[in-house]
Amino acid sequence: MYEYLTGLVTVVQPNYIVVDVNGVGYRLLCANPYRYHVDQTKRVRVYVYQAVRDDDISLYGFADSDEKELFIQLLGVSGIGPKSALAILANPDHQGLIDAIADDDVSYLTKFPGIGKKTAGQIVLDLRDSIQKKPTGPLLSLNSQPTKTDNPALDDALAALKALGYKEREVKKLAKQLMKTDAKTTDDYLRAGLKLISQ
């Protein structure tokens, strides 16, 4: 899995760029390729997500890790594929998108191509718990980390549950229940958490 590429932008097209990294050209599909310019002297860092399907392997490029994280979270929504996620991110107002999700503003989300009322509602349902307003400013941040406690073993177990695909709200609820158990190790907490989920 790639995290980012650093190299020279050699091609800019309407839906992709090519980044030359030590003589190898990587084609990266981008929400807005025109934020980059062909420049044989200035190296750029582009964050990358690799999507593998039966008939295709594609690389998606992002200006920063926050944009990449937002793309990944959008992919986790039922009915949203890479093409739809890129179309949503093509709007430079990512803050407006995050605000809309946090505020349950379905009508804002239906303005994006291919996003109907049902899919917009699903975006809000799936992502609102992972988006958190910062009280000290207008910016919002993606809250991709599970609930933190004063117990490192429990924290690791919660992180493992989230890595398995459980939603933030499920993990938060489990954290409270797991604190009441007599588990001591990460493995104990993880086993107890999985048992509670399956009940």
Q: Which residue has the higher pLDDT, 28 or 110?
A: 28
How many domains is the chain built from?
3
Do residue 15 and residue 73 come from a single domain?
no
Within a domain: 147: no
Q: What is the pLDDT of residues 7-31, one digit of tens each?
A: 999 999 988 999 999 999 999 999 8
pLDDT in tens, 156-176: 888 887 777 777 777 888 888
On whether the CB atoms of residues 27 and 2 are closer than 8 A, the answer is no
* Threshold 0.75, pTM exceeds: no
| Structural tokens at position 145 | 């980390």
Whether 53 is in a domain gets the answer yes
Q: Which of 101, 120, 142 is the last residue of a domain?
A: 142
DSSP, collapsed to helix, strand or coil, labels residue 61 as: strand
**What confidence tens digit (pLDDT) does each residue in 182-199 have?**
888 988 888 888 888 766
Domain presence at residue 51: yes
